[in-house]
Amino acid sequence: MVERSTRSSRRPQRRQLCCPAHPEQRIEGNGRKYFLHLLTSEQLKARGMADKRAKLVIQAYPVLVLSNEWLEELFCPICGGNRWCHITKHDRVEHTVRWAPRELWEQVAHVDPVVANPTVSEFTRREARRLNQKRADGKRVFDAG
């Protein structure tokens, strides 16, 4: 009897991302990935590379883009919202997920979280802030009652 290939019957596994606050809950995200850029040998040493080799790599590549680390906005149903996460890819399925500290945004090219987006008008920015403004009685402006 000839054995058929099992490759066609296997389904590809999706990446397993779990919420850092609720490890049993899978979280989803299909947003944009912001890959981390390293500029110094100290950043490479912090990731486990030897000092001499880290200096050689930074001399060869002044800006090193990590293909296995990025920032992505993910949704957790238990937390009830989207949060920015720092994801480290180990293989095609296994990933480490943790909440992204603000300092990591400094390692992302072309994104500055402190400076407002220049393509958004001042009117749009002001109207977006109105949703969180409160009235004299403590309720939000657009709450009923």
Q: What is the DSSP string of 48-99?
A: T--HHHHHHHHHH-SSEEEEEEEEEEEEETTTTEEEEEEEEESSSSBEEEEE
Q: What is the pLDDT of residues 3-52, one digit of tens each?
A: 555 555 566 677 888 999 988 988 988 778 899 988 888 988 988 889 99
47/7 Cα distance (integer angstroms): 35
Residue-level pLDDT at 142:
65
What is the percentage of the chain residues whose pLDDT exceeds 90? 17
50/47 Cα distance (integer angstroms): 9
Distance of CA 92 to the CA centre of its chain: 17
Which residue would you say has higher pLDDT here, 134 or 127?
Answer: 127
Phi, psi of 56 (to 5 degrees): -65, -40
Residue range 80-106: mean pLDDT, rounded: 89
Which DSSP letter does residue 36 get? Answer: E
Considering the chain, what is the average pLDDT of its residues? 82
Which residue would you say has higher pLDDT here, 15 or 95?
Answer: 95
